[in-house]
Amino acid sequence: MTTSASLPTEPEGAIPTGAREDGTVTDRLVDANTRYAAGFTDPGMDARPVLRVAVVACMDARLDLHAALGLELGDCHTIRNAGGVVTDDVIRSLTISQRALGTRSVALIHHTGCGLESLTEEFRHDLEMEVGQRPAWAVESFRDVDQDVRQSMQRVRTSPFLLHSDDVRGFVFDVHTGLLREIDPA
């Protein structure tokens, strides 16, 4: 697999080919979008996912969800955050996904080797000491990925805002094999 990280890099301080003078990564993304847009044709679809599923997953760059799940553009809603944990904002997104855009199923995907397994709520304390303000959010770190998937499934299933909680399933993606392992909610 080729990733941006494995592509040849310019010498230190050089401006990447096609990038603007400041040569930032964002410039690289904007340049890539210009090339993408040159061949873009409107697929003619609306915001309702074809498969009526929302996938909640970790933001980890090693997870290529569409490839791993055999999904195409327009198949699902994808909601990602650190750890793939079900927070209030995930419930907000799922509520909009279900009530306004017709999804019925929820797949929750955590993964092996997650960075949240090595953090604690001490991270918030350290931030407060550094910047002088306590973050309003919880780190949502965990030690047992299977148990955190179970907790996330429970949060979705018990939310009063969601219309559909009968098809909520949780998985752990193995970053070394690419396989999903389903977690029993019990």
Q: What is the pLDDT of residues 105-137, one digit of tens each?
A: 999 999 999 999 999 989 999 999 999 999 999
23, exposed or middle or buried, with CB in 10 Å at 0-12, 13-18, 19+?
middle
pLDDT for 17 equals 52
Please tell me the least confidently modeled range out of 17-26, 47-56, 175-184: 17-26
pLDDT for 117 equals 95
Cα atoms in the Cβ-side hemisphere of radius 13 Å centred on 137: 11
Please give the full DSSP string across 125-144, using - where no structure is assigned: HHHHHHHSS--SS-----S-
pLDDT for 32 equals 96
pTM for the model stands at: 0.85
Q: What is the pLDDT of residues 52-111, one digit of tens each?
A: 999 999 999 999 999 999 999 999 999 999 999 999 999 999 999 999 999 999 999 999
CA distance 34 to 119: 38
Q: For residue 185, is pLDDT > 90?
A: no
User: Do residues 185 and 150 touch, judged by C-beta distance below 8 A?
Assistant: yes
Q: What is the DSSP letter of 170?
A: E
User: Do residues 93 and 112 touch, judged by C-beta distance below 8 A?
Assistant: no
In sequence order, the β-bridge partners of residue 170 are: 108, 183
Q: Which residue has the higher pLDDT, 9 or 36?
A: 36
pLDDT for 123 equals 95
> Average pLDDT over the chain, rounded to whole?
91
